[in-house]
Structure 1
């Protein structure tokens, strides 16, 4: 037992001052500890330590010129975490908060998420401490070109396939892809999230949000319930949030609140297709705060970011889709007091450990991001397949594929709950254990490399 306890201590000591990474590692370690106790081979071969250590961390300088002709300098990264199941796969994040700790935590989470999809995908993550907000298209293009001038050496169709994340949408993917194509003189599927006219896949923009709601649907079906007429909160107002709301409307749910970095909007009358279309215009076209949405509708109230947040609104279901650690213990208690019955994560690690423990103890149906937000990388995997085949699949076929993958993830969790005698609806430990066993066995089969 002492040796097992030393595993976690050793990992945190080797990676000092990386709080987000430590948090992600500790959560998985606590889940798989019973598995390690039963399987001496996993311990002797140091499978957990090997999974926690990135296969490669690439850090580089990104120099670019702004519209005033001044040179700017940012830090670029790519964390190639694990390739036991396939080439490295994971998004790029352009945001001022980006650092090695955040990218290692994201890449670590990606290992388990990608494994659960059942697709041949390894795990990686990358990005830069660059903020595209307030930048012109020309500045964003020059930054993306500068980033790719270094990164192209380390990625490729069968090596490492980045995608989008916070701050990296179709615009950024286009600039990155164009630069790679120019340098390598090859048109290949080196990035996913491309435009549908130039190598992209239908349903990729919708995939994470749609997949999230599909997973919530299966969670509720398991307890003989559904999303119809459920009051819902969706944090964030970007890609994942928008399409989560769109799918919730299709399921007959009522979305009464959403947020962005400036605050949140509460609309007791609920979201409609017309209102959602306007929100997309505000955020995607005009790139404004959601306060502009509230200005148009008398039923909507905008509250500036402060002491009160979106989690203070009573609801049946909550879908945190913004960023890591956005929902704390105090928020969890308020949500539960106000009648919350289900929470599924659309973002990566949006709930603090204390909040997660509270949800588990209070029997809230809790969908961990590794399972519930795997839809995005699932359709990215399908985009990779289409690129290799040189053909496109119809949107209706991809919707069926996405729903089937999310159903399979849900069923994998249920199988793991049964196999390891976990508590009913313990999706957290089931997702961690099921994914760990799959990756660990692959690594064991491939030897000490």
Structure 2
């Protein structure tokens, strides 16, 4: 069987086995479309069915999560954990609490995590999990009771040498605290390394909160440098206003750029003088307000619920919200306004049609599996600190993060050229580089 026939057969089987899981199909297609040159050079991976095996999770867990709200009513949600690939180390990936979560979403995220984690070089496998529970608008007591019920099932599947969850959308320090407390209660062990994203006071790492946003900007900085450019004086838009977006904004401003717009699910705000980060943090993290309040507080800003953030002229776009937020129309709007680079802080925020538009326009495009790897890289650094019962300074950790992102960037460019593409083809480079690291380990470990 030739390589293209093999890839088509694997894709057909993925679609047959996983009906209706559009995001998972999209993620698998995006990776497999890049692997032709690697499989042609390594036919042993075809014979060993490496691609077939890498597309099938090693384990999928789905469970009921009953809990009681503040009015005494019993609620029921679904919990998920997909342990996708452990060839390079324990499963590693976040937990997402959001109404959109279903098995297909978790599988798409877990599949992406395999290659993202491999690119960091940190010795961690790929997994993901979560629930369709929505913590927004819930009291601390309700969130605690949900997390305790969720962990009552999840705890039997995780461990510092088995599977190490972290936070994601809807899972921050509060949720990690409740989850860890219930794990400790059930196991009678203080296994600090079983969850990452913990507060620094009891086993967390400095710079972990900032890591995904900072890392995305570090990667974008390296991309711009290949064109002799930097963030200094650049107009930037950042989608989202959660953790990743907040710290991407912070680092862009530190590097001399100006973030002129950000968004949430209700619309977007434009602040030509630069988004006021302290005001944004207060509104989103403390008061938990919608973004429209920003424009009410700061009269020089304007809020809009028409069109999209990507209609705002910019030099750099950092999509940091959610999957498939940039379609063909948004991509055309960005390129029309002269965007230089689009760098993904979220997981798969650009559709295939959007990526095609960027390629045709010569726009630098950084895929999420490379550009936002800083979060999980710093989680691995947190695991190192937990294992040695050590704590690094913020500066030490940020220095390690920056070095990891430079290495990921360099590896993507080197691999893309080695396998017949342009050095600017970060999609090709990231997919092949991540795949080869996992495939080599799977080949060495046999048919397991």
Instruction: Name the TM tier (shorter chain).
Output: over 0.9
- Other-structure match for 1:280: 281
- Other-structure match for 1:444: 443
Residue segments in structure 1 that go unaligned for 5+ positions in a row: none
Give the structure-1-normalised TM-score: 0.98
* Aligned CA-pair RMSD: 0.8
Counting only pairs closer than 5 Å after superposition, residues 37-48 of structure 1 correspond to structure 2 as 37-48=40-51
Give the structure-2-normalised TM-score: 0.98
Measured after TM superposition, the shift of residue 362 of structure 1 is 1.2
Counting only pairs closer than 5 Å after superposition, residues 97-112 of structure 1 correspond to structure 2 as 97-112=100-115
Q: Aligned partners of 1:25 and 1:196: how far apart in 2?
A: 36
Measured after TM superposition, the shift of residue 298 of structure 1 is 1.6
Q: Aligned partners of 2:415 and 2:133: how far apart in 1?
A: 40
Are residues 1:313 and 2:312 paired?
yes
Are residues 1:208 and 2:209 paired?
no
Residue 156 of structure 1: SS of its match in structure 2? coil
Q: Aligned partners of 2:158 and 2:6: how far apart in 1?
A: 37
Paired residue for 1:35, among 35, 38, 44? 38
Are residues 1:252 and 2:256 paired?
yes
Counting only pairs closer than 5 Å after superposition, residues 7-86 of structure 1 correspond to structure 2 as 7-86=10-89
Q: Aligned partners of 1:322 and 1:418: how far apart in 2?
A: 31
What is the CA deviation profile of residues 272-309 of structure 1, one whole-angstrom value per residue up to 9, with x for unaligned ones?
xxx201110100001110111111112100112x4x11
Q: Aligned partners of 1:380 and 1:324: how far apart in 2?
A: 22
Contact map agreement 2:414 2:423 (CA 8 A) in 1: no
- Other-structure match for 1:235: 239
Q: Aligned partners of 1:248 and 1:381: how far apart in 2?
A: 24
Q: Aligned partners of 1:13 and 1:78: how far apart in 2?
A: 21
Q: Aligned partners of 1:244 and 1:196: how far apart in 2?
A: 20
- Other-structure match for 1:292: 293
- Other-structure match for 1:95: 98
Measured after TM superposition, the shift of residue 375 of structure 1 is 0.4
- Other-structure match for 1:419: 418
After TM superposition, where is structure 1 displaced by more than 6 Å over at least 4 residues in a row? none
Q: Aligned partners of 1:80 and 1:3: how far apart in 2?
A: 25
What is the CA deviation profile of residues 166-225 of structure 1, one whole-angstrom value per residue up to 9, with x for unaligned ones?
000000000000000111111112100001001100000000000000000111111211
Residue 86 of structure 1: SS of its match in structure 2? coil
Measured after TM superposition, the shift of residue 347 of structure 1 is 0.2
Are residues 1:4 and 2:34 paired?
no
Residue 64 of structure 1: SS of its match in structure 2? strand
- Other-structure match for 1:301: 302
Paired residue for 1:122, among 122, 125, 144? 125
Measured after TM superposition, the shift of residue 412 of structure 1 is 0.6
Measured after TM superposition, the shift of residue 8 of structure 1 is 1.3
- Other-structure match for 1:324: 323
Q: Aligned partners of 1:283 and 1:5: how far apart in 2?
A: 45
Paired residue for 2:198, among 194, 198, 210? 194
Measured after TM superposition, the shift of residue 391 of structure 1 is 1.1
Counting only pairs closer than 5 Å after superposition, residues 123-138 of structure 1 correspond to structure 2 as 123-138=126-141
Contact map agreement 2:6 2:46 (CA 8 A) in 1: no
Q: Aligned partners of 1:338 and 1:213: how far apart in 2?
A: 21
Counting only pairs closer than 5 Å after superposition, residues 344-383 of structure 1 correspond to structure 2 as 344-383=343-382
Number of residue pairs aligned between Structure 1 and Structure 2 = 444
Q: Aligned partners of 2:423 and 2:133: how far apart in 1?
A: 43
Measured after TM superposition, the shift of residue 424 of structure 1 is 3.0
Residue 304 of structure 2: SS of its match in structure 1? strand
Residue 233 of structure 1: SS of its match in structure 2? strand
Contact map agreement 2:93 2:127 (CA 8 A) in 1: yes
- Other-structure match for 2:162: 159
Residue segments in structure 2 that go unaligned for 5+ positions in a row: none
Contact map agreement 2:416 2:423 (CA 8 A) in 1: yes
